[in-house]
Structure 1
Amino acid sequence: MGAPGVHRGLPSTTLTLVLPLDAPLRVSWAGRPDSLHEGWTSLSGLSLVPAAIHHEGTQRGIQLALTVAGARALLGMPAGALAAELTDADAAGVTALRELPERLHGLDSTQEQVALVDRVLVDLARGAGSRGTAPRDGMRPEVAVALRALAGGARVGAVAASVGLSRRRLGDLVRAECGVRPKQLHRVSRFAAARGLLGRLPLAEVAACCGFADQAHLTREWTALAGCSPTVWLREEFPFVQDEPVSGLAASDA
């Protein structure tokens, strides 16, 4: 709630699924008005730029963060297929999600709406309502191990060696699974960790905790990925209803 304007949706290691309840969601990539998407479902893949979420002062809906493994389990596709995309359930081809907004609007309480979303997601994870009858292959084990290590701050060369792959092969597999390359994934993961601490610790401590060289390095990275400095984001958008404690990229969790 607040004055009409634009909210920044920051880069993350998860895909974002939004089910608006009062009006279709209008979202675009920052600086790219040609990418505007409007609909009753909004699905965005991993990106290195922020999203611009347009609102009239009040927004209400259900937002889910899907891990890379969650994209496979619920959507039947790798997250890489949706990289840098702003789309919806129709384009993803998931019938159960396509029908969900209308079902949500028929319910009276938030508790009922959340319970319905829970049931639909469980059914999807079990295979009901998936795209047609095509089998949904799982993530390659070495990629799952690599994603955990990269999100934890390990160097790309060390990760490649630990899973028995060349740096180039690891990069190709990670990009196909996520839509970003290993160094980019590590970069976004570090940024997401900083976001979880911003406003709770001094900037210098946030930089030290999250693996930045210093506060100036944190500020440069934040400006590049968020489109504004940490202090501007704190002034304009913190605290925000969507903010939750940061968690690492869990390749085995849906």
Structure 2
Amino acid sequence: MAGHGAAHDAVGAWRWRTSAALRPLVREIWAWRSPAGPAGTHQGVSSGHLTVILCLEGAVELLRKPDPGRGAGRFAASAAGLHAAPAVIATGELQAGLQLALTWRGARALLGLPASELASDVVDLGLLLPDTGTLLDRLHATPSWAGRCALLDAELCRIAARRTGPAGPPPEIGRAWDLLVRSGGTVRVADLADDVGWSARHLGERLRRETGLGTKTAARVIRFERACALLRSRTAPALVDVATTCGYVDQQHLARDFRELAGTTARGWLAERP
């Protein structure tokens, strides 16, 4: 994919850097294509972003949602909330499409609801964006990945500009989340609460009400996301160094998070990457 905002990642997928207007809502857009192959499974790991997928070929077959009690499903377009347990996704089918990393602010601005309403769940995107079918048709009709990403970027900016709804959370929530992200999930909960002027308990309740994750869980997921990013970088450090850099007690601490947040080992997760 060529053009404004495009970059190639170490794992072979194409990443589109969103426009400045969209970036507070959507961190990035990925364009991917995976060939047909033997049937298998892929773990959908925890991260600090909601995931929206628009399939142009095939569909996402979810064998188990992060909350197993919410069942399974097959989606041409889907939205997944924040979660602290892995999803299980079927592989082997030819697939191609676009994947968006939404911030919790993007959930309100683009989907019209707080991120907490999607926590540990995956739903049909059409339930939240009635024009999803038309958008998929327009993406299909656009010949290049660069053109599709640019079209999607512009459409999301348009949706955000026209979206009206109830007032968002108090500014303390945004400040607390941003501090968590800047610290890589390592800031102490007590220090975070002191910074925003709330009790630790009140902060945890309000953060969960908006994002679906309490303070400690959000910090854990954000730290894990940073560890995953380091492991898949071009100059991936050794596991013990990743654990130290990201603030884990030791390598076993990181290994435990991989088991619980990704449903596999670090090496198993890396082996799933294209």
TM bucket by the smaller chain?
0.7 to 0.9
Alignment of 1:178 onto 2:211? yes
Cα shift at 1:161: 1.5
Question: Which deviates more, 33-42 or 111-120?
Answer: 33-42
* Matching residue within 165, 173, 176 for 1:135: 165
SS of structure 2 residue aligned to 1:95: coil
1:64 maps to what in 2? 100
Distance 1:76 1:150, change over 3 A: same
Q: Cα gap change, 1:77/1:102 in structure 2, threshold over 3 Å: closer, same or farther?
A: same
**Offset at residue 34 of structure 1 (A):** 6.3
The residue aligned with 1:246 is none
Q: Give runs of aligned pairs for residues 22-37 of structure 1, distance below 5 A.
A: 22-27=57-62, 28-29=64-65, 32=68, 35-37=71-73
Q: What are the equivalent positions in structure 2 for 1:105-184 lying under 5 Å apart?
A: 105-127=140-162, 130=163, 134-151=164-181, 152=183, 153-184=186-217
Partner of 1:212: 248
Opposite residue 254 of structure 2, the aligned amino acid is L
Q: What amino acid does structure 2 have at the position aligned with 1:192? A: E
Higher share of residues assigned strand: 2
RMSD, aligned α-carbons: 2.0
Deviation string 1:81-101 (CA, Å, 9 cap, x unpaired) is 111111022322x23335322
Instruction: Say which SS state the counterpart of residue 21 (structure 1) adopts.
Output: strand
Corresponding residue SS for 2:179: helix
Shift of 1:169: 1.0
Partner Cα distance (2:165, 2:67) in 1: 38
Match of 2:90 among 54, 62, 75: 54
- TM-score, normalised on structure 1? 0.84
Find the residue that maps to 2:137 and give its secondary structure: helix
Distance across 2 between alignment mates of 1:16 and 1:79: 11
What letter corresponds to residue 120 of structure 2 in structure 1?
A: A
Gaps of 5+ in 1: 241-254
Q: TM-score, normalised by structure 2?
A: 0.78
Secondary structure, in 3 states, of the residue corresponding to 1:188?
helix
Match of 1:189 among 199, 222, 237: 222
Structure 1 residue ranges, 4+ long, deviating more than 4 angstroms after superposition:
none
**Residue number in structure 2 paired with 1:43:** 79
Is the alpha carbon distance of 1:72 and 1:34 closer, same or farther for their aligned partners in structure 2, counting shifts above 3 Å? Answer: closer
After superposition, what is the alpha-carbon deviation per residue over 1:187-206, rounded to whole angstroms, capped at 9, x for unaligned? 00111111011251101100
- Percent identical among aligned pairs is 37
Residues 32-53 of structure 1 show CA distances to partners (whole Å, capped at 9, x for unaligned) of: 4962121221110001111222
Q: Is the 8 A contact 2:66 2:83 kept in 1?
A: no
CA distance in 2, matches of 1:99, 1:157: 47
